[in-house]
Every structure is written in structure tokens, then in C-alpha cells.
């Protein structure tokens, strides 16, 4: 029988943390045990009630993000995942991820994650240099990371991501390399690394304090050091800021970049289903009292879909497909964006990727193009 179900990914937002990092603009804050318990109960209810909208979808990935999901108790995580499994059709090889911060992980938690079917852990390390961690306002040091990583490895997890950050206040090329070397020296290396540059966002403590950051030239050098080092270690860069060993690219994140369907649960969680974007309200008290309220509902126009196809797709090393664009929109990329692709190819910022027969099948950013990706992608906006 033909499978008529459609693919869906699920994002579950846990808006709690021990303390707010100085650079963080995510929807997260400290909360009491009682508030976290009420929130977990409300999440279970929302997941159950919203399932009626997704009866003909099969779930390819689940992602518990935050905030700090590893703050929740083993029982709370178990309840949440039991609700997902009971009310949604999960693929046999469904990728189920949880974000964890060093200093919030225990053996009983990790065992509960494993028992709940979680098969991927993303650890917020950021740096192996304690002074850099202190300047970021992190609650852990490098020894906390080692203890957390050891717990996760010994519990049998093999699909592990580590978050790293560059352009940290006071960071030098030497300290950046020291962090990378420490990652490579782990007895069991992570199969995935996310490496981001620090961006100062409005509303954060860093935005008010204006710390001294590495200059633009140093930031580019730190980025290049990171990229070159990880590629020498066997990681493949499959997206501007993400590197993976073969076969371990994050399925959940690829859903965002490829504009797949995803449903978000919890305060502030965003969804995009069949080209309709919406999000839950951000007020915690209202959510606990009344449940989620859908906000910012937007049916994307064809032009907006084209924009997203291009500027999200170009984040990936594989770029975007001429054939997929035509299949989705009935038009050719070159006709929708006359002269733009050719112009950037001539400048060495975009490249054609060809099939076995030599035909041009895709376009992708070059290494030089990645350095100025925001400028390139801005030219693929149609509605601005």
C-alpha cells in the first residue's frame, strides 16, 4: 500500500536555565521547580491536543531545545516523550535530540533519556578555555564538561554534538586552537560540531555592556582556523556553521533549511506546516494558565516561498537544485532571478555543481561566498 503520510518534525521548547548567559537572546529564564513541573504538565497536554492536526503525518525528528532541557527531571522528560510516542507516528529511525548544558546533567537523567528513546545529545560547550566561559556567563568550566561528556558516552550515546563559539571577548587564535585541539583529543570524538560566531543581540547583557570583541579580521581568521581544523579531523561542513562525520548531519536542522514541515510546542515555539508559519505566544504565565495561543499566522506567498528556498538552501554545502526549484514553482531560477546567479558565479561567490553527465544541477556558495553570505542571500529577496 502506498504511504500517504507526510513528513513532520517536532520542536519542543524548554524555556528554563540556571542563569541567563550574557550573550543569550533566547526565550529562557530561571524558574522554580514548581513552575517547571507545571510547564511539563502543560506541554504534555499541548502535545496531546495538537496531535489531532497531524494524524496523517509521520515524524522524522524530535528536538527538545531551550533554554536548558537538561534541567528537567527524568520523570518530566519521560512524560513528554511518552506523550509524543503515544499521539504521533514516529519513523523507525526517528532522530530524537536533547540539548544539554554541563553542570545540569546526572547519571539518572542520562539513563532516563536513553530509556525515553532519545538518541542524540547536543552539548553546549562553547569553549574549553575557562576564562572565555566566565566572560560568556556560562555556569560550567571545562571539568564540568568532561564529567558531563563522560556520563553521556558511558550511557551508550554515540550521536553527540558539541556547540562551539568563536569571536568571544578576549579570544585569540591560540585559545581558539586550544579549544579545537581539546575536542580532537577527546577519547571518543563527537560526530557533530556546531561552530558559531558570537553575535551581540539587542536586549542581551552584552548589548548593554558592549564587551571588547575580536576585530573583524581576527574574527574571519578564527572562523577559518575552525573550518580548516575540523575538516582535517574528518568533519564535513554541510552547512555554514555545522560540521559532521559522514552520516551524522543533523536531520532536524536540515528540515528547517529545506523548508520541511515542523510543529513547535511550548512558549514561543515556531511552526511551519504546508507553507503556513505560526508561533505560540511567549508569555509563560498565560501558557501555564490557559495553554498555547497561536500568533503571527502567515500564509506564505509564492514569492516568499521562493525567497526561503534560496536563502535557506544556500546555507547548505549542497546548495539548491535547479530541478527542485522548477518542480516546486514551475519556473526556472535564472528567470526568477535574472543575472543574479551568473553575476555571483563570475565573482567567485557562487558555483555550479554538476551531475555525472556534466549538466549543471545545483548552485552553492563558494568558500569566498560563505564569508559574505548575507550579502549574496540578500539578492534573492523578492518581497523586501
Q: Per-residue pLDDT tens for 151-163? A: 999 999 999 999 9
pLDDT the model gives residue 216: 86
Which of 50, 172, 151 lies closest to 102, judged by CA? 151
Strands 242-244 and 270-273: unpaired
pLDDT the model gives residue 5: 73
pLDDT the model gives residue 370: 92
pLDDT < 50 regions, the chain: 1-3
pLDDT the model gives residue 2: 37
pLDDT digits (tens, 9 = 90+) for 266-277: 999 999 999 999
CA-CA distance, 191 to 160, in Å (whole number)?
6
pLDDT the model gives residue 45: 97
pTM attached to this predicted model: 0.95
CA-CA distance, 348 to 32, in Å (whole number)?
53
Query: 37-49 burial, b if ≥16 CB within 10 A, otherwise e?
Result: bbbbebbbebbee
Amino acid at each position: 500500500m502506498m504511504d500517504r503520510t507526510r513528513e513532520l518534525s517536532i520542536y519542543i521548547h524548554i524555556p528554563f536555565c540556571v542563569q541567563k548567559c550574557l550573550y543569550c537572546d533566547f526565550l529562557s529564564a530561571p524558574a522554580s521547580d514548581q513552575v517547571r513541573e507545571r510547564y511539563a504538565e502543560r506541554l504534555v497536554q499541548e502535545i496531546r491536543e495538537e496531535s489531532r492536526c497531524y494524524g496523517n503525518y509521520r515524524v522524522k525528528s524530535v528536538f527538545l531545545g531551550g533554554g536548558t532541557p537538561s534541567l528537567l527531571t527524568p520523570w518530566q522528560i519521560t512524560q513528554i516523550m511518552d506523550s509524543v510516542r503515544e499521539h504521533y507516528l514516529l519513523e523507525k529511525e526517528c532522530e530524537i535530540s536533547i540539548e544539554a548544558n554541563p553542570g545540569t546533567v546526572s547519571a539518572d537523567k542520562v539513563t532516563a533519556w536513553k530509556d525515553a528513546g532519545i538518541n542524540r545529545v547536543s552539548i553546549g560547550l562553547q569553549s574549553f578555555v575557562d576564562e572565555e566561559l566566565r566572560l560568556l556567563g556560562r555556569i560550567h568550566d571545562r571539568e564540568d564538561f568532561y564529567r558531563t561528556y563522560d556520563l553521556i558516552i558511558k550511557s551508550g550515546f554515540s550521536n553527540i554534538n558539541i556547540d562551539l563559539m568563536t569571536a568571544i571577548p578576549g579570544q585569540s587564535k591560540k585559545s581558539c586552537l586550544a579549544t579545537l585541539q581539546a575536542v580532537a583529543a577527546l577519547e571518543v570524538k563527537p560526530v557533530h560540531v556546531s561552530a558559531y560566531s558570537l553575535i551581540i543581540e539587542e536586549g542581551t547583557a552584552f548589548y548593554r555592556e558592549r564587551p571588547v570583541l575580536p576585530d573583524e579580521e581576527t574574527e574571519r581568521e578564527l572562523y577559518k582556523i575552525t573550518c580548516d581544523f575540523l575538516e582535517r579531523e574528518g568533519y564535513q561542513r554541510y552547512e555554514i556553521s555545522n560540521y559532521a562525520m559522514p552520516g551524522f548531519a543533523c536531520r532536524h536542522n536540515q528540515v528547517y533549511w529545506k523548508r520541511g514541515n515542523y510543529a513547535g510546542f511550548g512558549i514561543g515555539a515556531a511552526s511551519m506546516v504546508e507553507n503556513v508559519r505560526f508561533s505560540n505566544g511567549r508569555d509563560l504565565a498565560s501558557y501555564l494558565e490557559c495553554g498555547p495561543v497561536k500568533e503571527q499566522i502567515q500564509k506564505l506567498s509564492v514569492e516568499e516561498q521562493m525567497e526561503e528556498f534560496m536563502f535557506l538552501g544556500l546555507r547548505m554545502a549542497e546548495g539548491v537544485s535547479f530541478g527542485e526549484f522548477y518542480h516546486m514553482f514551475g519556473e526556472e531560477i535564472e528567470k526568477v532571478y535574472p543575472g543574479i546567479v551568473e553575476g555571483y558565479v563570475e565573482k567567485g561567490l557562487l558555483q555550479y555543481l554538476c551531475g555525472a553527465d556534466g549538466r549543471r544541477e545545483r548552485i552553492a556558495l563558494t568558500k569566498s561566498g560563505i564569508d559574505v553570505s548575507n550579502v549574496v542571500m540578500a539578492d534573492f529577496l523578492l518581497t523586501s
